[in-house]
Structure 1
Amino acid sequence: MITMSDLRKTIGNRIRIIRKLKGLTQQQLAELSGLDDAYIGAVERGERNFSVDTLEKIVVALKIQPMELFQNLDDSSEVEAAQRRAIDEYAITVRELSVNQIEALKRIVGEIRKAFED
């Protein structure tokens, strides 16, 4: 069972991962969220309790859905953790593409999957 301290650390780590995938520094996230950069660092390390309002500011600044912070909190294997990182990167990439680019990317991924099946 996950404890509140573990949950805080896990959510903080997810914030860090998503922030880095988006190419943001703690300072940039702080500016976008209206929070102090030292506070962002403490949240990412799981050292600070944070309110739902604070979490909302971070989610809005990262331009993500709140549920993205809670997905696969219990990655129990190295494979699951690697899958989560890949999904995060893919989701961030797709958000920045046009519909035509997304369709092209889907075709490319389909071809890559076929190559691995052979």
Structure 2
Amino acid sequence: MIRELLAKNIKKYRKRSGLTQKHFAELCGVSSSLIAHIETQSCTPSIAFLEKVCAVLQIQPIQLFEQTDLAAKAELTY
């Protein structure tokens, strides 16, 4: 659940910033395939990488874990 939320939020903020996976990867200093793996939940990013993501996207770390989808929030309240 947390990994899915993290992946969705990284992708959401990346797209909001108008960045392709390739350009985002270049700014983060990693390969575009790593970005793809993270966004599809094939791997889990490190804390150091999340710090880099936040710097590149100019967001606060908490934003990577926020649930903005009402359906997802409803699932957690039962």
Fold match, TM over 0.5?
yes
For structure 1, the 5+ residue unaligned runs are 1-5, 81-118
Matches within 5 A, 1:1-118: 6-72=1-67, 75-77=69-71
**Alpha-carbon deviation of 1:57?**
1.2
8 Å Cα contact 2:25/2:35 also seen in 1: yes
TM-score (structure 1 length as normaliser): 0.56
- Alpha-carbon offset, residue 71 of structure 1: 1.4
RCO comparison, higher one (Cα < 8 Å, 6+) = 2
TM-score, normalization: structure 2? 0.82
Q: Distance in 2 between matches of 1:17 and 1:76?
A: 16
Instruction: Note if contact 1:33-1:61 (Cα within 8 Å) is conserved in structure 2.
Output: yes
Moved over 2 A (4+): 75-78
Cα offset, 1:46, TM superposition: 1.1
Structure 2 gaps, min length 5: 74-78
Larger Rg: 1
